[in-house]
Amino acid sequence: MSKKSNKKKIVVSTEKKVKLAPAVSKKRKASTTSSIQKEFVFNQSNYTFVFIGLALIALGMMLMMGGNMPDSNTWDEGLIYSTRRTLIAPIVILAGLGVEVYAIFKK
């Protein structure tokens, strides 16, 4: 029977360690930020439509406001369930949301 030796083997590398520098593009030099032109996603017409859409949504919310009864002892169904509040105001709000979607997708 042979005995296994418990000797540890040490491996020594003879190569020199090289420090790596960060990669720098040769094309890119120290340039100023004024020479780089950034292109925005939206232009002036997009923002115009955004503000029009916000105005329509705000108008629709104002059309829904109100509802105070002139007398607390009487119930007037015409004030609460008027055509202005149940039909016109939601249509105006949806139109405003449609304008917002158009403003986002307009190129």
Q: Residue 30: its pLDDT value, please?
A: 52
Q: Domain extents for the chain? A: 40-66+76-105
Main-chain phi, psi angles of 87, to 5 degrees: -125, -55
Task: Kindly report, residue by residue over 77-91, the tens digit of the pLDDT.
Answer: 888 889 999 999 999
Residue 35 DSSP one-character state: G
Q: Model pTM?
A: 0.61
The C-alpha angle 81, 82, 88, rounded to 5 degrees, equals 115
Q: Residue 97: its pLDDT value, please?
A: 98
Section 9-17 average pLDDT: 75
Task: Kindly report, residue by residue over 35-60, the tens digit of the pLDDT.
Answer: 677 888 889 999 999 999 999 999 99
Section 13-33 average pLDDT: 67
